[in-house]
Amino acid sequence: MKISSGLFSVVCIVIVVPSILLIYSMNYETARSVDLWFTILAGIIDILAIIMWFWIYRKILVPLDKMRIAIKKIADGDFDYGLDEKDFVEIPFLYNDFEKMRIKLKENEEEKILSENAARELVSNISHDLKTPLTAIRGYVEGILDGVAASPQKVRDYLNTIYNKTNDMTKLIDELLYYSRVTGNKVSYNFERTNVKDFFDEYVKDLYLELETVKIKFSYTANVDADTVIDIDREQIKRALNNIIANAVKYMDKENPEIHLIVKETVDAINIRISDNGRGIAEKDLPHIFERFYRSDASRNTKLGGSGIGLSIVKKVIEIHEGSVVAMSKSGVGTDIDIVLKK
C-alpha cells in the first residue's frame, strides 16, 4: 500500500523532536530516572495513538465510508456517481480501481441498453420485412382462389410472384440464423490454401449472369500474380462479397447501373474493392454501416427492407480472417467498399 509522507512526518514530530528536546533539557540525574523516562515515553505513545486514530479516521475511514456510499449508488444503478480523487490521496490505488470498475460497468450498461434497443428495432424490422411479402402472397393466393387469375398464364404469373416472395423470406431468415451463429462463434471456418486469381475468376462467372438479369453492368479486373496464394475460408469470403454486392444492387438508383470488382496485390496483402454508382451513403450514416442492426434513414424510408445485419456479417467474416474492411461513399454518386486480406 502506498502511504504518503504525512504519517511519517507526524511520527517524527511526535517522537523524534520531543525526544531530542527532552535529552537537551534534562540534567544528569533526571536522565537516569527510568521511571520518568518511561512515563514520558508512554505519554508520547498515547499522543501518537490519538494522532494516528485521527489520521486513520480522516484519511482511511472517511474515504472508505464515501466509497461504501458510492458502491450502494452503483448497486442501485447510478453509474454516474463518482468519487473525489482528493479524498483518496493516501490510498490512490483504491480510487483508481473503483473508477475503472465504475466506468466498465457504465459502458456495459450502455452496451446492454443499445443491444436491447437494437433487438427491439430488429424485431420491428423483421416483422415489417416478413409482413410485406406475406401480405403480397396472401393477395395473390386470394386472386387465384377468387378466379381473378382467369387464364393459365395469369395463374403462372401469380405463382411465380409467390415463389419469388417466399425466396425473399427464406433469404432473410437464413441471414438471421447465420448472424446468430457467427456472432456466437458457432461457425466453423475451413481455411484453405487458395490461389487468389483462380478463386476470383471462378467467383465472377456466376456473378456476371446474376447482374445481367437485373440489367447491371459488371466489370472485373484482377492485377494478381498467377501463383499468388492466400489462406481463406472460400465460402465465407464469398458470403461477405455477396452481401456487399447484394447491398449495392438493392440501393441502385441509376438508369445505367454499374458495379465494379477490382482485385490488386501488394507486398503483404490482397486488396479488394467493390464499387457502385448507386445512391451512396449519407455522411452521418457512413461510420455506422458495419454495426449490427444499423439501418440508414434511406433504408428505413423505402420499401426495400432489410435486417441491417448484412454488412455486419461482412465485418465479422473479414475480422476472422484478420483483415479489414472500410467504406467510402458520396451521397448520390456511389460507394466503394475496400477489403484488405493479409497474405
Q: Which amino acid is at 320?
A: I
Query: Strands 324-330, 334-342: parallel, antiparallel or unpaired by DSSP?
Result: antiparallel
343 residues of the chain, pLDDT tens digit each = 444 445 445 555 545 555 554 554 544 454 455 556 666 766 777 677 787 777 776 777 778 888 888 888 888 888 888 788 787 877 788 788 888 888 888 888 888 887 777 667 667 767 777 787 888 899 999 989 988 888 889 999 999 999 988 988 887 788 777 777 776 666 778 999 999 999 999 999 989 988 998 899 999 999 999 999 999 999 999 999 999 999 899 889 899 999 999 999 999 999 999 999 999 988 888 888 887 666 555 554 445 555 567 888 899 899 999 999 999 999 889 999 999 999 8
Q: What is the pLDDT of residue 249?
A: 92
Q: What is the pLDDT of residue 232?
A: 96
Q: What is the pLDDT of residue 194?
A: 96
Whole-model pTM: value is 0.58
